[in-house]
Amino acid sequence: MPKQDFHHVRTWVFDLDNTLYPPHMRLFDQIEVRMTNWVMQALGVDRAHADHLRASYWKLYGTTLAGLMAEHAIDPEAYLADVHDIDFTVLTPDPALVRHIAALPGRRIVYTNADAPYAHRVLAARGLTGLFDAVYGVEHANYRPKPEHAAFETVFAIDGLDPSTAAMFEDDARNLAAPHAMGMRTVHIAPEPEPAPHIHHHAPDLTAFLGRLTAD
């Protein structure tokens, strides 16, 4: 992982779920259960069909929420409040991650397909409160989700960042295509690599990757 590949970076953009905490903490498992339950109640379908819709909307639209809005005109605020009403005690602080993020030069922001209030609760549980200059949720993109190019453009315009001097860290490989096209350095954070032209770097562990990046 050449450190010189990041010498130009002045804005560090981090996804939230399964990026700023590792997948083995399984926080998102709780959200998936609540999403399925919400779809069952809102649409009056059984669990198997609700599970199918949750997964198929995520694949087709980028998020389950985007599919529900497009096909059923649901209220995004009520949905987001319900599905993120979960137990955050499964998350633990990571002092090394705190040190490495704090050592990054320039601005540090979070951009998630969840909402900002949920993001702040995750950051608190991980000991990351106060480390980021801004936290953006799907509401800041008018509920348009990553991987839509327009969603990135909207959030980045609000932030005022220059993509040519920015890096994006994401667990969902498809969400790195638009940042790459915009000129960002892209880092896929996931247990297994998914080689693709729009991915510059892969790392199974964000803390270790940033440790190498910020080492003297």
**pLDDT (0 to 100) of residue 1:** 56
Q: Which residues pair with 168 in a beta bridge?
A: 13, 186
* Same domain, residue pair 8 and 32: no
Domain tally for the chain? 2
- Residue 34 belongs to domain with CATH number: 1.10.150.450
* Same domain, residue pair 45 and 17: no
Residue at token pair 């955050």: 88
**pLDDT (0 to 100) of residue 132:** 98
* Same domain, residue pair 95 and 160: yes
pLDDT in tens, the chain (216 residues): 578 899 999 999 999 999 999 999 999 899 999 999 999 999 999 999 999 999 999 889 988 999 999 999 999 999 999 999 999 999 999 999 999 999 999 999 999 999 999 999 999 999 999 999 999 999 999 999 999 999 999 999 999 999 999 999 999 999 999 999 999 999 999 999 999 999 999 999 999 999 999 987
Domain end among 44, 59, 83:
83
- Residue 165 belongs to domain with CATH number: 3.40.50.1000
Half-sphere exposure of 14 (CA within 13 A, CB side): 25
Cβ–Cβ contacts within 10 Å for residue 197, how many? 7
* Same domain, residue pair 54 and 71: yes
Q: In this structure, are residues 200 and 91 in contact, taking their beta carbons and an 8 Å threshold? A: no
The amino acid present at 126, given as its one-letter code, is R
Cβ–Cβ contacts within 10 Å for residue 32, how many? 16
* Same domain, residue pair 168 and 78: no
Residue at token pair 């059923």: 72
* Same domain, residue pair 71 and 98: no
pTM of the shown model: 0.94
Name the token pair of 46.
Answer: 């059984």
d(CA 166, CA 133): 14
Domain ranges, residue 46: 27-83
* Same domain, residue pair 76 and 58: yes
* Same domain, residue pair 160 and 71: no
* Same domain, residue pair 59 and 148: no
First to last CA, the chain: 14
* Same domain, residue pair 62 and 137: no
